[in-house]
Amino acid sequence: MNRRELLKNLGLTVGTAALCGTTSVVSATERSDKRKKVLRIAHITDVHIRPEENAPERFVKCLEEIKKHKVDFFLNGGDTIFAADYGNITRERVNELWKVWNETTKTISNFEMHSCLGNHDMWWAAPNKEDSMYGKQYVVNQLKIPNRYYSFDKKGWHFIILDSNNKDATLDDEQRRWLEKDLQSIAVGTPVICLSHYPILGVCTHIEGGNHSDSKYISDLFYKNKDKKISCFSGHIHLLDSAEYNGVHYYCNGAVSGYWWEPGDKDSAGKSYYKQTPPGYAIIDLFDDGTVHNQYFPHTY
């Protein structure tokens, strides 16, 4: 193969890797067969659970399938319930949606689940801000998480859970100050997983939109902390995507609900697909050398 043919083939490979909506992707830096897997995580996002469309039974079947992967815990990327954020949503409807969530997730009650907030999870139509069901704190309570943003450590890995649901899909000033301190506090070389609802960076967001509008701030902050090994996971756009910038990997995994548990529309490539991405979940393997293996599994429920 001459130099021109080699560069042409390399260009095709890079272009193919950047395409949106492939049905399966394995993203990793394969460094050594001697690396040791330390954690296996299920990444579910955009479940949009609802009583209609037989969604509860289908979701439970999906969870039972995920358990067969022998995961250590779950990361839930937000938009947990169908939609509480519209102006016409009643208190009864919000309670109904969370009840379905709590009932369906009983099948994984023996697993830890670390969740972030999605834009459709909050009930802004409450009578006033003093109402116990208004806004983010109620969602925090329902998801049983410590705060709207937080971090924790497991087996040498540091996990950061962000709240993307601020003006124009950004981190608010309070959260920025916290994130800067949190990243500075961890040791050099620490591998980091960052979970957000909105994608921070990606290929499909250039076409679809729906990413963090402060992605420059976040990516610049990650560069200032390039002495850590950072990988980011998101949802929101219901599309499958991966990108790399300045050594940080950005993975957007497709929605468990696909086309919101419905059959789809004229742009759906298959039943319940959102455009070219089928409904599904991801299995993330984390290794002792800081590398990540992300594989998306379409489901047919």
Q: Identify whether the C-beta of residue 198 lies closer than 8 Å to the C-beta of residue 45.
A: no
> Cα 51 vs. chain centroid, distance in angstroms?
23
The model carries a pTM of 0.89
pLDDT on residue 177:
98
| 110 has a pLDDT exceeding 70 | yes
Q: Tell me 173's DSSP state.
A: H
| 27 has a pLDDT exceeding 90 | no
Digit-coded pLDDT (tens) for 215-250: 999 999 999 999 999 999 999 999 999 999 999 999
| 112 has a pLDDT exceeding 80 | yes
The Cα–Cα gap between 17 and 217 comes to 26
CATH of domain 21-298: 3.60.21.10
| 2 has a pLDDT exceeding 70 | no
Q: Which string of b and e fits 131-148 if b means at least 16 CB within 10 Å?
A: eebbbbebbbebbebeeb
Domain boundaries, the chain: 21-298
User: What average pLDDT is seen over the chain?
Assistant: 91
**Which SS3 state, helix, strand or coil, does residue 139 take?**
helix
Q: Identify whether the C-beta of residue 255 lies closer than 8 Å to the C-beta of residue 62.
A: no
Least confident of 32-36, 167-171, 198-202: 32-36
10 Å CB burial of residue 246 (0-12, 13-18, 19+) is exposed
In the predicted model, what is the mean pLDDT of residues 259-264? 98
Start-end of H helices in 134-292:
135-143, 173-185, 204-208, 215-224
| 32 has a pLDDT exceeding 60 | no
pLDDT on residue 33:
67
Q: Identify whether the C-beta of residue 254 lies closer than 8 Å to the C-beta of residue 240.
A: yes
Strand pairing class (157-161; 191-195): parallel
